[in-house]
Structure 1
């Protein structure tokens, strides 16, 4: 499983909705992403962040829909990305929205 470079910080995230068909061959990276954002350590960075999983049996493409506190959305197609690429996109967007992360730079 892909290991994240740093801790997943969900301070600026309101909701993460993950949907996939478990019987498709292209869901591994989506499941790995779900495992990482659903971990206790990641969830403890924002206890109000809702992580919703929708398991379908309709051969649909894996999809991750992230809603931030400011209303912006990030939608990623899991079949086209690795879990590390998805985490990197999430962390880049979170860091851009977090004033404390900007101060550290």
Structure 2
């Protein structure tokens, strides 16, 4: 699973993460792995005001991750054709660009 690679997720620049998927579809594994990473206690501790919502539907809908940043920008990722690594890289690159402390490092 995703835990084999150590990744530091910092949610300081994130206001809300909304994840939606149908658990019975075959293309949801990467979205579920992304959810496990951003909803972990360690990640959530970096911003207690960040809202992580998961909407599990049984309607054969496409897995979607919608991230709303503090500045109002939104990142929408359709997880059907992405790996959890690709999703995480896109998410973290935007987070790092918006976090002044991460830019200093």
Which of the five TM-score ranges fits, normalised by the shorter chain?
over 0.9
Unaligned segments of structure 1, at least 5 residues: none
Which residue does 1:92 correspond to in 2?
93
Question: What is the root-mean-square deviation in Å for CA atoms of aligned residues?
Answer: 0.9
Give the aligned length. 104
Moved over 2 A (4+): 2-6
Counterpart-to-counterpart distance in 2, 1:96 and 1:85: 17
Mapping 1:19-34, distance limit 5 Å: 19-34=20-35
Using the TM superposition, give the Cα deviation of residue 100 of structure 1 relative to its aligned residue in structure 2, in angstroms.
Answer: 0.8
Which residue does 1:7 correspond to in 2?
8
Counterpart-to-counterpart distance in 2, 1:45 and 1:25: 32
Which residue does 1:38 correspond to in 2?
39
Using the TM superposition, give the Cα deviation of residue 2 of structure 1 relative to its aligned residue in structure 2, in angstroms.
Answer: 2.4
Q: Is the 8 A contact 2:2 2:37 kept in 1?
A: no
TM-score (norm 1): 0.96
